[in-house]
Chains A and B, each alone.
Chain A
């Protein structure tokens, strides 16, 4: 059975800390892995990763994929209170019409 596992489930850090969120997957016929940020509303898209070893970067956020070991990490440097959210990892297999498998999410709280 295909699955996506995120760790840790929750995390509390102080402003300025660096955090690493993990996503491992067992999905048949992998096509892409996506990261979303969810505050008290709709999940918003962060990154899509399809190739191993190529870092995607946006400001203080970055992500990388390892297709051999079947995981991805999302790094956030110099965290701010506005980074507090649930971070969702999703994996899209091929040939499923763009259906995704989601992990349970990591809840990040950044305290001043």
Chain B
């Protein structure tokens, strides 16, 4: 079974704090993705990575950065958290080539006060 794990299920931070969200997958997937999910807006892609040290902006990268130093780990960084970044954050991974589903982690519900 594919396992995608995220470091926290729930997180509460204060405005201006630096926040790290970690995602780890154990299936040797090339691709990894970070989404945020908000009511009425669905899943929106923040960043994705198709290889170690490679990253591509998604639809809403502003206020976020990412790091992929190892194939199995993809980190999302909020340099200075703001209240409008309160959301559910979902990590996913997949193989790069062919027609493949994405496998999702359980999500991190982040609240920024």
Contact = CB atoms under 8 A, between A and B. Distances in A.
Interface of A: 9, 31-32, 34, 36, 41-45, 48, 50, 88, 90, 92, 97-100, 102-105
Contacts of B33: 99
Contact of B31 (A31, A45, A90, A98): A98
Contacts, number: 52
Given A43-B90, A88-B43, A100 B4 contact: no
Given A42-B105, A98-B102, 6 more contacts: A88-B42, A97-B50, A98-B31, A103-B42, A104-B40, A105-B42
B54 to A, nearest CB: 10
A48 B101 CA distance: 8
Interface in B54-108: 56, 58, 90, 94-96, 99-107
Contacts of B90: 42-43
Interface residues on B, range: 20 to 34
19 contacts: A9-B40, A31-B99, A41-B106, A42-B4, A42-B106, A44-B104, A45-B101, A45-B103, A48-B101, A50-B99, A92-B99, A98-B31, A98-B94, A98-B95, A99-B33, A100-B45, A100-B102, A103-B42, A104-B40
B34 interface: no
Nearest to B102: A100
B106 A34 contact: no
B94 A104 contact: no
